Amino acid sequence: MDMTHTPLFRTKAYVGGQWISAKSGHTVPVDNPATGEIIGHVPDLSGADTRAAIIAAEEGLSRWRETSAAERADLLLRWNQLILDNAEELAAIMTLEQGKPISEARGEIQYGASFVRWFAEEARRVYGETIPAPTADRRIIMLKQPVGVCAAITPWNFPNAMITRKCAPALAAGCSIIVKPSELTPFSALALAALAERAGIPAGVFNVVTGMPQEIGAELTGNPTVRKISFTGSTKIGRLLMEQAAQNIQRVSLELGGNAAFIVFEDANLDAAVAGLMASKFRNGGQTCVCANRVLVHAKIYDAFAERVSEAVKALQVGSGLSGDVTIGPLINGAAVTKVREHVEDALDKGARAVVGGRSHPLGGRFFEPTVLTDAGWDMRLAQEETFGPVAPLFRFETEDEAIRMANNTPYGLASYFYTNDLNRSWRVAERIEVGMVGLNTGSVSMEVAPFGGIKQSGIGREGSHLGIEEYLATKTFHIGGIS
């Protein structure tokens, strides 16, 4: 499927309402993870190019912050509708550059659009407060105002939804924003820019800069005009950006790595638990920050659960995401394949058994076999590190306290899941597990209505829900004295 000549497949960066090249003329190639073929090039913008984008965003802000909430809401709703009207083309572009199965890409477009609609509605409900003054001659009002020029640095694994989850609340709040998508998946971001332009979102309000990240990131975090950095990606880069943002005391929102525990207690509904694990673990081939990374199974049901999971994993179809029946696409790049292979080999060396898969797929390239490992141990790398691939390691436990202790034994704290029908245990586990999001008898926690985010080294701040817009609002206390 050649998407490179479709209207939304853009090969220029979008700054100040213009489609631009890098001043240097340099470009970055983008490949198709399923084949390794180059699908196109995007401008490799420099620090100076990024400075120009910041100036454009500042000009965009001056107009945008004066628009009414109703006007911003209407424009966001128009953008939302254009995204939905062009969902098939957006999904095909995503699968071409990211590799996920087309059915999942279609799902992400709907998920991404849901944030645009949600924050179009939130735009009109940014309320301030009046505060009872201590003296009769004073009035106190709390105003909510846009933070200003913002920057969003986003990952390759959800190249549409991670942009709208940041940009929709920013625009709803009256901010302008500069998006730096992953150099691995820029075309989804540029397609969103084309639709923002078509929706009538004014020049400079929504900008997309492309290229290698270091120089662009240094300018975005080093330029005092940028008042807010919103990042989704690895904890390593999140830490770096937080350090860089400190120089100008920029506000930061960080959605970072995870190491989710998926706990199956002895009284769990096994069919539901298997379905939940398949949904959590193998979505996007396991390249998801909230996916189950460690599967803790009570000893009493371990063998039965392992057998059922193995049957379900054997039914997964590996191949190019553009093929309709495929449920597991390629990993994003060679480094990802190496990391997954190393995790599996380390586990096998330390006593795990591969009851399904366990090696690169016969298709070769970036395809890896969906894998189930039994007898997983806490000394294995995949217990401590985020695998970010289609590998389900099954760990045994005997007691509830042991399961919670092991689940919490990680520097991360993004999401966890557990299956039980015991009401008292449900509350004990939900309250004691150290994460930002926990699912009981469900393998999914990601939707626009609910706060998304982590604790510990999984991040700072919340996206989505009624909390998401607060990340792009500043509070101003307005005191009026001398009233008689």
Ligand X SMILES: O=C(O)[C@H](O)CS(=O)(=O)O
Known catalytic residues are 255
Residue 42 interacts with ligand NAI (CB under 6 A): yes or no: no
Q: Which two tokens stand for residue 273?
A: 């638990």
Residue 193 interacts with ligand X (CB under 6 A): yes or no: no
Residue 288 interacts with ligand X (CB under 6 A): yes or no: yes
For residues 254 and 459, the answer to whether their CB atoms sit within 8 Å is yes
Q: Which is nearer to ligand NAI, 26 or 144 (CB)?
A: 26
Residue 468 interacts with ligand X (CB under 6 A): yes or no: no
CA angle 338, 455, 221 (to 5 degrees): 75
Residue 103 Cβ, how far from ligand X at the closest point, in Å?
A: 15
Q: Which of 46, 98, 154, 410 is in the footprint of ligand NAI by CB under 6 A?
A: 154
Q: Which is nearer to ligand NAI, 157 or 374 (CB)?
A: 157
Q: Which is nearer to ligand X, 285 or 357 (CB)?
A: 285
Q: Which of 226, 290, 394, 433 is in the footprint of ligand X by CB under 6 A?
A: 290
- Residues in 237-256 that interact with ligand X by CB under 6 A: 255
Residue 453 interacts with ligand X (CB under 6 A): yes or no: no
Q: Which is nearer to ligand X, 40 or 155 (CB)?
A: 155
Contacts of 173 (CB under 8 A, 6+ apart): 123, 126, 146, 147, 469, 472, 473
Residue 182 interacts with ligand X (CB under 6 A): yes or no: no
Residue 453 Cβ, how far from ligand NAI at the closest point, in Å?
A: 8
Q: Which residues of 12-120 form beta strands (DSSP E)?
A: 13-15, 18-20, 27-31, 38-43
- Comparing C-alpha atoms, which of 471, 468, 473 is closest to residue 165? 468
Q: Which is nearer to ligand X, 155 or 468 (CB)?
A: 155
Q: Which of 11, 50, 80, 157 is in the footprint of ligand X by CB under 6 A?
A: 157
- Residues in 400-459 that interact with ligand NAI by CB under 6 A: 414, 459
Q: Choose the binding region for ligand X from 40-48, 96-104, 190-198, 284-292 (rule: CB under 6 A).
A: 284-292
Query: Measured between alpha carbons, how far is 427 from 400 in angstroms, rounded to an integer?
Result: 12
Burial code (b: 16+ CB inside 10 Å, e: under 16) for 344-378 equals bebbbebebebbbbbebbeeeebbbbbbbbbbbee
Residue 84 Cβ, how far from ligand X at the closest point, in Å?
A: 18
Q: Which is nearer to ligand NAI, 180 or 298 (CB)?
A: 180
For 278, the enclosing helix (H) or strand (E) is helix 270-282
For residues 152 and 181, the answer to whether their CB atoms sit within 8 Å is no
483: helix, coil or strand?
Answer: coil
Residue 289 interacts with ligand X (CB under 6 A): yes or no: yes
Q: Which is nearer to ligand NAI, 370 or 461 (CB)?
A: 461
Site map 209..228 versus ligand X, x via CB under 6 A:
--------------------
Residue 230 near which of ligand NAI, ligand X, none (CB within 5-8 Å, type-dependent): none
Residue 162 interacts with ligand X (CB under 6 A): yes or no: yes
Query: Measured between alpha carbons, how far is 22 from 211 in angstroms, rounded to an integer?
Result: 9
Residue 128 near which of ligand NAI, ligand X, none (CB within 5-8 Å, type-dependent): none
Q: Which is nearer to ligand X, 290 or 382 (CB)?
A: 290
89: helix, coil or strand?
Answer: helix
Taking CA atoms, 407 is separated from 73, 120, 258, 262, 275, in Å, by 41, 37, 12, 8, 20
Query: Measured between alpha carbons, how far is 129 from 144 in angstroms, rounded to an integer?
Result: 9
Residue 176 interacts with ligand X (CB under 6 A): yes or no: no
Using CA atoms of 236, 241, 243, 245 in order, give the dihedral in degrees to the nearest 10: -170
Q: Which of 17, 148, 155, 329 is in the footprint of ligand X by CB under 6 A?
A: 155
- Residues in 244-283 that interact with ligand NAI by CB under 6 A: 255-258
Residue 191 Cβ, how far from ligand X at the closest point, in Å?
A: 18
DSSP state of 349: H
Q: Which of 214, 247, 399, 477 is in the footprint of ligand NAI by CB under 6 A?
A: 214
Residue 133 Cβ, how far from ligand NAI at the closest point, in Å?
A: 42
- Comparing C-alpha atoms, which of 70, 230, 90, 255 is closest to residue 148? 230
For residues 14 and 190, the answer to whether their CB atoms sit within 8 Å is yes
Using CA atoms of 428, 434, 435, 437 in order, give the dihedral in degrees to the nearest 10: 10
> How many residues at the interface with ligand NAI, by CB under 6 A?
27
Query: Measured between alpha carbons, how far is 345 from 350 in angstroms, rounded to an integer?
Result: 9
Residue 446 near which of ligand NAI, ligand X, none (CB within 5-8 Å, type-dependent): ligand X
- Comparing C-alpha atoms, which of 164, 176, 167 is closest to residue 113? 164
Q: Which is nearer to ligand NAI, 315 or 450 (CB)?
A: 450
Residue 257 interacts with ligand X (CB under 6 A): yes or no: no
Residues lying near ligand X in the complex (CB under 6 A) are found at: 155, 157-158, 161-162, 232, 255, 288-290, 446, 452
Binding site for ligand NAI (CB under 6 A): 153-157, 180-183, 213-214, 217, 232-234, 237, 240-241, 255-258, 289, 386, 388, 414, 459
